[in-house]
Every structure is written in C-alpha cells, then in structure tokens.
Structure 1
Amino acid sequence: MSRDRFDLPISRRRFLELVAASAAMTAAGCDFGSPVLPGDPFTLGVASGDPLADRVVLWTRLAPTPLAPDGAAGMPPVPVTVFWEVANDEAFRSIVRAGSAVADPSLGHSVHVDVNGLAPDRWYFYRFHADGHVSPVGRTRTFPAPSAAPALMRFASASCQNWKSGYYTAHHHLAQEDLDFVAFLGDYIYESGVGGEVRDHDGPRIETLAGYRNRYALYKSDPNLAEAHRRFPWLVTWDDHEVANNYAGELRDENGAPYPVPFLDLRAWAYQAWYENTPVRLLPPKGASFRIYRDLAFGDLAKLFVLDTRQYRTDQDCNDRALDPICATFPNPDGDMLGAAQESWLLGGLAASNARWNVMAQQVVFSPTPIGTRLNFDQWDGYPFARQRIVDFLRARPLRNSVILTGDIHASGVGWVPGQTPGAPSTFSDPIASEFVATGISSGGLDEGTASLIELLFNSYPHVEYFEAVSRGYVRHEVTRDAWRADYRFVETVLEESSPISTAVSFVVEHGDPRPQPA
C-alpha cells in the first residue's frame, strides 16, 4: 500500500490549507519530495475497491503522458506526494477523512490508500490532489457490517475486455446501473500485439514491465471503463491474459511463441503491473509470487471468495487446446487448479461461513461441459480430481446456497453444478451449486455457425439452463435473502461506440435450491 503521511478526520478548510501550502511551496521551488509535473497526472482516472464495513481502497496512478515508451507515463523518477480526501457529499463540504500518500516510481507512481474509520453500509465521494491538479471525483461505498442483515445486494459480474475486439459499449451501460459493486473476473488486459479488428494495441506482444504498464494505460484511457471505475468499487481478480495466454503456474503456453526472457521474470512484471493498476487491499508483490485470493463479507447476506485459478495450477493435460480429444495422460490425479494452500483456505472459509449466500468469484467454467470425447482442458474439466474435492465438500453442506461466478470463455451460461456425474451429461444429477458465466465485455467469441452447434449441444444437457456464445455484455445480479436474480445484459454490437443494451434472459435461484429457473 502507499505510504500514508497522515490519515485523520479533518476539516475542509484545514485540508485545503495544506493542499494550497503544498502547491505554493512547489511553485516557489521548495524541495519537499513533490516536483512540478509536466501535465495533468490524473489521465488514468480514479478507482476504488475491496470495500469492508469500515474501509475501502482508493486508487490512482500518476500519468501525465500515459503511453510514454519507457513505461514511466511522463513522470520524473522521484516520489511524489498525493493528497486525498473522502466526503459525504460530491461538493466536499463534509469531509470525513483526508490525508496524503507517496506515489513511488518503483510502483509506477500508483497510489493505494486504505481509508479506514468510515461508517458501514454507506456511500462516499473521494478525490486526489497533486501539484495543483485535482482528479475526477470518484464514488464509492462501504459494505454492511458482518453482523448486519442487509435485505439486498446488487452488483455486476464482467470479464474479458480485449481492446482490439471492440468498444467498451457495455461499460457505458454498466456505469448507469444501480449497483453496490462490480466483480471483474479476469482478462482486464490482453498481452497480444497489434492487428485488431476494431481498434489496435499500442505495440507488439508484451515482454517487458514497461509494456505491461502501457497496456493498462491504453485500456484505462477508454472513458467508458474509467466511468465504470469512478462510479462503483470493484472486486478484481486476474485470469491468463494479464500475463500470457493459457499460462499454468510457472509454465507458459507451449502452443505460443517462446519469450526472450525467463517466464517467471515475465510473470513478475505482469503481477507488478496488475497491482499498480488495480484497487486492491494487498501489499505490493515481491518477485513472481503474489497472493491475491481473499474474501469479503456483505453483512450476513453474502460471503465473497475471490479466487486465483492461474498462479498455482499444474500444467494442462493434452496440449491444453480447447476441445482437444482426451489423451492417454488424462485424467491426472495430481492435477491441481487452486494449489493446496488456496484450496484449504477456501474450504475452511466456506465451512466457517454463516452467510446466506456463499459466492466463489473465479475465472474458468466449473461445471462439466464435455463435447463428446473432447474437453476444454484449460477449464475445470481439465482438473477433475481438484473439482471433485470441492464438489464433495459442497455436497456435504446442509444448505445448498453456493454460487459460482465465472468469466473467461466469451460466452454466457446459466446452470447448476452436478454432484453426481456417473456417465454422459444426460445422467448428471444432484444439484449442489449454481453457476453464472458472464460473457466478455468486448472479447470476440465463436462464429455464428460454430456457436449455434455448441449452443444446441450444451442446451441439451440437463444441468445447463442457458448457453449463448455470440453476444457481449455483463450480468446484473440482484440478491435478496430468499432469491438470487441474474439478468444477462447484452449490447447490440461492440463495433460501434454507441449501441443499445437489453436484457436477453433472466434467471432466479431460490435459496436452498441451486437450480436456476427462468424469471
């Protein structure tokens, strides 16, 4: 986290006096650690994330020249003091917390401020000041206290926003929703090079820290994404493209071109850039290892487990291509998706939870979805022993109140996780959890012919209530104590910056019965 200079309740007048004094000292040439900046440092906007009952993380990254080739975003190679303030009102007449933090060049001049001492279950406004510049005003909130019994939770789940594949039209509409937060399930950036269908990346395939930093800067330059961040706190996890396509643990995708640097060096740079550009309550990574799995409580209504299905997994079997035939080495009883420590943490957290709903926010499809003798070995289908351990645990729970949120596959799906899978999909039974798969914000999917065939097959499975592989958008969730409603919101096209959105389908899960039903 950024180093705080002070963090205390403060009057608006006193805070402005401190900011004005800082600006005056800078103008007078006084050296107190904050140089004159070459332009507006808040070009990447503001964001917030990981809200708790008494605190929330505020984020910004100073970037007067966001796409400078050296990855420094036009910033001088020295620490810079950044002031921040949180208020009850958008005009900042009632400031409740204020302070300063240091944006350090070693972390891309990013700022992560964990603001504490806030009231539970309420909205706030926040902004930053640096060198006489003022950031956009962000809007964020705290969660209800763990002992509270909230009646309602609203959020959106989203994933997969390939810049090259289309405009962030979905984010434009998402920012106008009435939400408590956004759960982003991975593939925030794509590491690939130029050659876009709609708009293009800023350079070739990423192979340096500067390249990762600039790719985030490019994506964050989109005003619709910036507005969605400004409006709501986010819970963010990563998938593969924040590093490299289909990587598994310490191994790169063997089907891709080799890298000129050791893969763990690349992973370390990617993890650092992800931290620098994400509003998370985490300490900066050290090297190529970075624990990001964590949990948050929305009162006693929901316990949210944010998972990492990339960093700790073993290599995919059978060459890891989607829909490859099953090979002689499959299934591997040692195949692991979460790693021992994360799996133990997850099952222990689920066992201890008294929440009305238990939510696993993760990346790849959990439910079995074979296509004849072919599987997507990058999904949980490729790790059946690891999946079965979680299924066995959920089957033993007295309340069937588990929900899995998924992204990754650029398609939409609704279904239940079968506790019994004795043979072909037609024999699947014993629902033990619900799964909602969110399509991509912009990332391309299957051609319509192939999509129609797979849709026809998957929709014939008893545990799949809905599957659609063409449209782009997000899922809007409304959770009460008795039911979970999911609205699948699809834009008409991602090829135009202005495109209407509509609700394609809606499903409801009644508490105690994990089978989604059409609303």
Structure 2
Amino acid sequence: MSHTPPRSAPARRSVLKGTIAASAALALPTAAGAPALALSGRPGAAWGVQTGDVTASSGLVWVRSDRPARMIVETSATESFRHARRWRGPLLGPGSDFTGTTALRGLPAGEQVHYRVVLADPDDPRRTGEPVYGTFRTAPARRRDGVRFLWSGDIAGQGWGINPDIGGFRAFEEMRRLDPDFFLSSGDTVYADGPLVPSVTLPDGRVWRNLVTEEKSKVAETLAEYRGNFRYNLLDDNVRQFNAQVPTIVQWDDHEVRNNWYPGQILDDPRYTEKDVDVLARRSMQAFGEYFPVGTLSPRGSEGRIHRVVHHGPLLDVFVLDMRTYRNANSPGRQADDTVGILGAKQLAWLKRELARSRAVWKVLASDMPLGLVVPDGGANFEAVAQGDPGAPLGRELQIAELLRFVKHRRITGTLWLTADVHYTSAQHYAPERAAFKDFAPFWEFVSGPLAAGGFPANALDATFGPERVFVRAPQRANLSPMESPQYFGEVDIDGDCGELTVRLRAEGGAVLFSKTLQPGRVGQ
C-alpha cells in the first residue's frame, strides 16, 4: 500500500496567505442571511467565490452579490494581475437570487490561474465593491503531469449543522491543505429535508450547538427555502476558503430535495404542505443551479441536466451520473424487465456512448449511490441498485448489468466507481467468479463520507455482482455526531509517469485508513 504524501504547490500557498485570506476576511455573512457588506453602499460578495467543471482550457466562476450588480471576472497568471484578462459576466438580480456564473474559455492548460471577481453597480459601473479573490489549476494537456483529487459527500445532515464550538466544517480545511486539483462532491450537498435545532445533547452529556437560519428551521418547500439551504453551507469559513482554492465537480442525490425521493412521488409526510415531489424537485434544481457552477445547467438551473463528462486531461475523464432524476419508483426491485432502472434509458445510452468515446487512461464513474450495498427505503422497498437478492440481476440491477457487460465487451479499460451516501467509508472489489451475474470484468467501488453529517453502521452487501468488502470503517450505532465519529473523504492520485492510480480513504484528523493502487490499461483488476 502506498502512502505517497501530497505534492507541494508553493505558488498556491502564497496566495492563501495573501489575496484569498484577505478577501475572505472582508465580511462574514450573518446567520440571518444578510451579508455584512450590505450597508457599505457598494455591491458586496460576502459569500465568497467558487469554480466548477474546470478542464484544460475552461472553467466556471461563481459569485453571489448582496444586491443587483454586474459580475466582472479578471484572470491572470500572477497574483499581481498584470496583463489581466477581463471577462464580462451576467447581471445578478433577484431572478437568480443574486447569484451568477461566468464561463472562462481559452485558458492555458496545466497552469495556476489567479482570478478576482468585481461586482459593479449596474447603473454606475464606476461604483464597485471590494474584489474577491480565488485561484485554481487547469487540467494538464500532457499525460506526464499527474492528477490528484478528493471526493466525499453528505453535508449538514441528520441535524448536525455548523457548530462554532468545534470550528465548523473542519474537514474542508483539511481537504484544502491537501491542495487537490479538484473536489468531486458526490451528492447530498445539502439536507433540505433536515431542519436544525439550536442544540442537541449527546449521549455522553456534551452539547452540540448549531448555527441556525430561518430556512434551516423547517423542511424546504419553497424556492426561497431551497435557496436558503444551499446558502447555509457558505456561512462556514472553512467552506468559503476551500471554494476559493479548490474547483468542484458537483452532483446531487436525494437530500437536495427530500429523503429517498423519486419522480412522480406524492408525499405522505405531515411536514410538507406541497405533496408533489416533482414540484419540489424543480425548485431544488433551480436553487442547485444557482448556487453551484455546473456547465450543463442553465444560469437559473431550471433547465439542462446534471449528468455530464468533465474531461481532466489525457489521464482522466469524470462521468458525473444522476441516479435521482430519471429513476423509477422505489420498490422491492424484483421485476424481471426494467428499462427505466436508476439511470433512465436515455442516460444509460449516453453513458455507454461517452465511455466508448473516452480516450482517457482512467474513467471515474461518479455515482451518487453505491452499487452493491443494500440501501433500504422502509418496509420492503429499496433505495439504491441492490435489493438484497443475491441471485441473477432483477429490477435496477438489470441496467447496471447491461452497463457492466458493455464495458467488458467493448474492452473499456480504467473504470472505477466513486460514491458516498451511506455515511461511512469502505472499499469493495467486484469479480465475476464471486457473482451470480458473470458477464463483466472485475472493478472497484470506493465509498467515502460523510463530510459533515451523522455516521452510520455499514450496509449489507448484495452478491449479485460479487462484491467483496476489502475494507470498511463505520460506527456501530446510527447517527453519531461529528463530535463522536470522524468524518471521511477519499483521495485519488494518478501518477503522470506510469499512469498508476492510487486511492486513499482518509479520516478527519489526517489518517490514511486504506490505500489501493490500480494499474492502467487493464480491462479488469
């Protein structure tokens, strides 16, 4: 097992001591959601900046203003911003909750890009707020330049929000210090169905204190409430500092809308006055698109799609899946014919087509739900792919079997699955000799999370695809707070010289719990 330390990035470190740290200290949003700069007379960006879906030549920059403003982005190869390139962004207004994203194109490959966002009064462009700074690395154009990224999910769930007594979402600061090329946010980016209370007494007598906002005091139903849930995480200093340094590839799962939701569902939940999940999902997707820079969504997030491929140089393609929007209803999962499954027929066709086209050495399938872990949905229904029957594929397993068969027969190499969702960390190896369904090549699935939520015991395995649990670290009882159980995130390091890919499962506090190195160019391993 390899425990290679993270590579250093001196130029980037100096930025953190300068422009980013200075911009983060400009003003802190208040718990009520009103930025402190609102009284300055000029537009303010107290919610920080983000970048997303960065490739070798492009990226997306996000900001939120405290009032109507024109978004302006300047980029430079140096912190001095000499010879800066200027990008005129959108007008920010109430239609997008004063958020906006500007696409940067024609960037140099494999370079550190420094940027600053300036908000200008739309009626008087000379009246501008203090610039907010950030930085990111574009993807490499050459194979010999390696790639390193992190992944995790599950943020502010199960009643555990921003706790100032422990320093907020501390795992984000640990991840920032590792200086990855990007972060894969694997879903459950918010818990819109998880209201917070000011304090919770733990079994050992300690008290957990939450920062609580109006929108986090009830389940989200209105567009404003969904927006408030996405805005909540930006109250945390660690998150804003992280966003200013590390680009994100983001996907969603269920808690962005409501626990275990599926299209067409009508709720039987007294907490909700709006019972139609499709209505709630449309509102959540709009807020999701407003608060994250995602290239396949429209500026207001109400159109487009979450599934996409993000090309990160010759070593890596990230296939971002959406296992929520197109799925069929949760059920016992015993049907012998299921063309809808968990991906939907069109997304499955898209995924097969894009996998066949990919020339990247490694192809990460970013899955918001695990494949072989049994995730129940109360009673006899199941939430994920597996349904506890170890025999031949049935229900949603049929769609995954079709995909795995396609990967084998097309001899597509370098696939691995990364996921979160279950609130512990583990590594599963899938092999046909252990499986009921045998027409596939061996592959790995790695699980991480939660990042800032409750910890849960390990789920049972379903033997249909022959999983072997090679490693697991999980609590023994349900919903342990982050004060009782460490938070988890994963690291992927691709060596530019030999192409080897190493996965490390990490725990909050710095420990590497498990490491596995995979060889490039193999159909299965």
Q: Residues of 2 paired with 1:376 and 1:414: CA distance?
A: 25
Could you say if the C-alpha distance between residues 457 and 417 of structure 1 is closer, same or farther in structure 2, counting changes exceeding 3 Å? closer
Query: 1:204 and 2:207 equivalent?
Result: no
Q: CA RMSD in A?
A: 3.0
1:57 corresponds to: 60
Structure 2 SS opposite 1:240: coil
Partner of 1:511: 520
Flag the 1:250–1:226 CA change in 2: closer, same or farther, 3 A. Answer: farther
1:241 match: 255
Does the alignment pair 1:165 with 2:160?
yes
| CA deviation string 1:78-131 (max 9, x = no partner) | x42122211112232341344343113211111110011211111111111124
Does residue 434 of the first structure (1) align with residue 444 of the second (2)?
yes
Deviations 1:361-419 (A, max 9, x none): 12000235599xx9982112141111111111122132541011111111112122334
Which SS does the other structure have where 1:463 is aligned? strand
Gaps of 5+ in 2: 1-37, 120-126, 162-167, 201-207, 388-395, 476-485
Q: Which of 341, 354, 359 does residue 346 from structure 2 map onto?
A: 341
Q: Is the 8 A contact 1:416 1:514 kept in 2?
A: no
Paired residue type of 1:306:
V
Q: Residues 253-268 of structure 1 correspond to what in structure 2 (within 5 A)? A: 257-260=271-274, 262-268=276-282
The answer for the alignment partner of 1:193 in structure 2 is 195
Change (3 A) 1:394 1:367: farther
Selected match of 1:401 from 407, 414, 420: 414
CA distance 1:96–1:112, change in 2 (3 Å): same
Structure 2 residue corresponding to 1:381, chosen from 366, 382, 386: 386
Could you tell me which residue of structure 2 aligns to residue 486 of structure 1?
503
Shift of residue 349 of structure 1?
0.7
Query: How many Å apart are 1:331 and its aligned residue?
Result: 5.7
Per-residue deviation, residues 118-166 of structure 1 (Å, max 9, x unmatched): 1111111111112432243111122234xx3244110001111116425
For the 8 Å contact 1:45–1:135, the answer to whether it is kept is no
**In structure 2, what is the Cα distance between the partners aligned to 1:342 and 1:55?**
25
CA distance in 2, matches of 1:90, 1:375: 58
Match of 1:473 in 2: 488
Q: Which moved more, 1:405-414 or 1:37-46?
A: 37-46
Task: Provide the residue aligned with 2:242 in structure 1.
Answer: 228
Matches of 1:38 and 1:240 in 2, distance apart? Answer: 40
- CA spacing shift, 1:332–1:82, aligned 2, 3 Å: same
Query: Any idea what the Cα deviations from partners look like across 1:169-201, whole Å, max 9, x if unmatched?
Result: 111100111311111111111112233643154
CA distance in structure 2 between the aligned counterparts of 1:219 and 1:180, rounded to whole angstroms? 21
Question: C-alpha deviations, 1:241-293, integer Å up to 9, x for none?
Answer: 11111111232566785442533222111111101100121342789664121
User: Does 2:287 align with 1:292?
Assistant: no
Q: TM-score, structure 1 length as denominator?
A: 0.77
Tell me by how many angstroms 1:503 deviates.
Answer: 1.6
Counterpart of 1:108, as a letter, is D
Q: Sequence identity of aligned pairs in percent?
A: 24
Query: For residues 205-255 of structure 1, what are the alpha-carbon distances to aligned partners after superposition, in whole Å with 9 as ceiling and x for unaligned?
Result: 111111111122221110111111111111111111111111112325667
- Confirm or deny: 8 A CA contact 2:56 2:109 kept in the other structure: yes
Q: Which residue of 2 aligns with 1:356?
A: 361
Decide which moves more: 234-243 or 134-143: 134-143
Aligned to 1:68: none
Please state if 1:133 is matched with 2:122.
Answer: no
Distance in structure 1 (CA, Å) of the matches to 2:275 and 2:462? 42
Return the match for 1:42 from 40, 45, 58: 45
Q: Which of residues 80, 98, 101 in structure 1 aligns to 2:69? A: 80
Task: Give the match's secondary structure for 1:165.
Answer: coil
- 8 Å Cα contact 2:287/2:301 also seen in 1: no
Structure 1 pair 356/456, CA: closer, same or farther in 2 (3 Å)?
closer
What are the ranges of 5 or more consecutive residues in structure 1 without an aligned counterpart? 1-34, 64-74, 319-325, 492-499
The 2-side partners of 1:514 and 1:56 are apart by: 32
Query: CA, structure 1 residues 282+257, in 2 after alignment: closer, same or farther (shift >3 Å)?
Result: same
Shift of 1:433: 2.1
**Count of aligned pairs between the two proteins:** 437
